[in-house]
Structure 1
Amino acid sequence: MHCSKCVRTRWHAHKRGAANLSLILERDISRNLEIYELSMYAVIDGVKDTKILRLSPAIRQLVLFDRFTTATDVGTLLVTDEQGNLVLDSRSTPPRPVNLADRDYFKVHRDSATVGLYISQPFQPRLSDAG
C-alpha cells in the first residue's frame, strides 16, 4: 500500500510539473509571436509613409526595424514587392537579391490582404538567416 501511494504521489507531482512547463512554454511562445506581430505591423505602417521611404537607407533601416528584429536567433523581417523581390531587409542594406514569389507565405498574402499573421510550414532558407 505504501509503495502505491508513493507512485501516485510522484505521478501527480510529475503531472503538475508537466502542466506547469506546458503553461510556461505556451505563454513564452504566445508572447514571442505577439512581439513578432507588433514588429511586422510597425514595418507595415512605416512603408506606407512616403516620408520614411524617402529617408536615406541607413536612417530608414533604423526607423523601420526595431531592436527585436535584429536580435540573435529572431530571424529576418523581409519586405517584398508585388513580384516577390526583396525590397527591404532587416539584416541588410541594401536588401539581398532574392525572390520569394514561390514561397507559401508570399502567396498567402499576395492572394488575400486580410490574412494577418501567417505561420508557414518549415522550409529551407535561401538566405543565411531567413527567407
Structure 2
Amino acid sequence: MNFMYDHLNERLNIQDIKWTEVEHLLKQIDPVSRAYFILEADSGSYIQCAGGPAELVVEYRDVKEKGFKHYVLGKGEVKSALKTVWKSIVCSIGNLSVHDDEVLTCEDALITFKYFFENKSIPDTYKRRNITREFKG
C-alpha cells in the first residue's frame, strides 16, 4: 500500500505503510494544514478523503483491467435527484461539493480506510454514487 497525504500544502508519500501509521495520520486531518489522504493498492485502486474531522468527503476508485469506476461514499437512503441537497466542504484544496448524505466524519474515514487496507474494497454499509463520467472525456 502507498499512502499520500497533505502536509501544509505539500504532498508526502509513504510506501508500504502499516495500518497503525494510516490510523495515526488520519486522526490528524485538518482542513487547513492536513486536508487530504490517499491510500492506494498495487492495482491502482484507491480510497481518498478530504476536509476536516467533522466534515469530510470519502471517494473510492475501483481500477479494473478495462478501466475504472469512481465513487463518492455516503450514508442513508438513496434519494431522488429532486430531493438532493448539496453541501460544500471547505478545505485547503478547495470547495468540495457533495450531497448532504455524503458529508462524513473522521470516524467514517477510519472505518472505510481500514476496510480498504484489509480488503481492497469498500464496506457495503456505505452507499456509492458513481461519478466516473466526471473523469472520462
Query: TM-score, normalised to structure 1's length?
Result: 0.30
Please tell me whether Structure 1 or Structure 2 has the larger radius of gyration of its CA atoms: 1
Whose helix proportion is higher, 1 or 2? 1
Q: Which has the higher strand share?
A: 2
TM-score (norm. length: structure 2): 0.30
Bigger RCO (CA 8 Å, 6+ sep): 2
